Structure 1
Amino acid sequence: MAVLSPSRPSTGRAGRTAITALAPAVWGTTYVVTTEFLPPGHPFFAALLRALPAGLIALAITRTLPRGMWWGRAAILGVLNIGLFFPLLFVAAERLPGGIAATLAASQPVIVVVLAVVLLRERPSGWRTSWAVAGVVGVGLVVLRPSSAAFDLVGVFAALGSAASMALGVTLTKRWGRPDGIGPTAYASWLLTAGGLFLLPVTLIAEGAPPSVDGPAVLGYLWLGIVGGLLAYIVWFRGIAELPVTSVALLGPLSPIVAALLGVLVLGETLGPLQLAGFALTVAAVTAGQLSPRSSRSAMENPRTPKERTHQ
Structure 2
Amino acid sequence: MSVDTPASPTRTLPAPVVSSVFVLIWASGFVAARFVAPHAEAFTFVAVRLVGVAIVLGVITFGLGARWPRSRAGWRDALVAGVLMQGIYVIGVFWSVERGLPSGIAALVGSLQPLLTAAMARPFLGEVVSPRRWAGIATGFAGALLVLAPKIGAADASGIPALPLVACLGAMVAMTIGTLWQKSHAGQAELLPNAAIQFVGAAFLAVPAALLFGTGRFDASLPLWGGLAWSILVNSVAGILLLLALIRRGEVAGVASLLFLVPPVSAAMAYLLFGETLAPIQMAGMAVATIGVAVASRR
TM-score, reference length from structure 1: 0.83
CA distance in structure 1 between the partners assigned to 2:187 and 2:256 by the alignment: 18
Equivalent in 235, 238, 241 of residue 242 of structure 2: 235
Identity rate, percent: 24
> Which residue of 1 is the match for residue 43 of structure 2?
44
> Does residue 86 in structure 1 map to residue 93 in structure 2?
no
Q: Is the 8 A contact 2:132 2:296 kept in 1?
A: yes
Deviation per CA, 1:200-257: give whole Å up to 9, x if none.
Answer: 1111111042422101110100000111111111111011111111111011122222
Comparing both structures, which one devotes a greater share of its residues to helix?
2
Q: CA deviation at 1:109?
A: 0.5
Deviation per CA, 1:82-104: give whole Å up to 9, x if none.
Answer: 00000111133332222221111
> Which residue of 2 is the match for residue 218 of structure 1?
225
Letter in 2 for 1:32: V
Change (3 A) 1:200 1:77: same
> Which residue of 2 is the match for residue 165 of structure 1?
174
Q: Runs of 4 or more off by more than 6 Å in structure 1?
A: none
CA distance in structure 2 between the partners assigned to 1:287 and 1:178 by the alignment: 24
RMSD: 2.1
Q: CA deviation at 1:39?
A: 3.4
Q: How many residues align?
A: 279
Deviation per CA, 1:120-156: give whole Å up to 9, x if none.
Answer: 0122422222322222221121122232531222232
Task: Please give the residue correspondences for 1:121-132 in structure 2 after superposition, counting only pairs within 5 Å.
Answer: 121-132=126-137
Q: CA deviation at 1:55?
A: 1.6
CA distance in structure 1 between the partners assigned to 2:23 and 2:208 by the alignment: 27
TM-score, reference length from structure 2: 0.86
Change (3 A) 1:169 1:90: same
Letter in 1 for 2:82: G
Q: Give ranges in structure 1 of 5+ residues lacking alignment.
A: 1-11, 293-312
Change (3 A) 1:21 1:118: farther
Task: Please give the residue correspondences for 1:1-312 in structure 2 after superposition, counting only pairs within 5 Å.
Answer: 15-40=14-39, 42-63=41-62, 64-66=67-69, 67-94=71-98, 95-145=100-150, 146-149=153-156, 150-178=159-187, 182-292=189-299
Q: Give ranges in structure 2 of 5+ residues lacking alignment.
A: 1-10
Change (3 A) 1:244 1:148: closer
Q: Is the 8 A contact 2:58 2:196 kept in 1?
A: yes
Moved more, 42-51 or 161-170: 42-51
CA distance in structure 1 between the partners assigned to 2:44 and 2:175 by the alignment: 20
Q: Is the 8 A contact 2:74 2:186 kept in 1?
A: no
Give 1 or 2 for the bigger CA radius of gyration.
Answer: 1
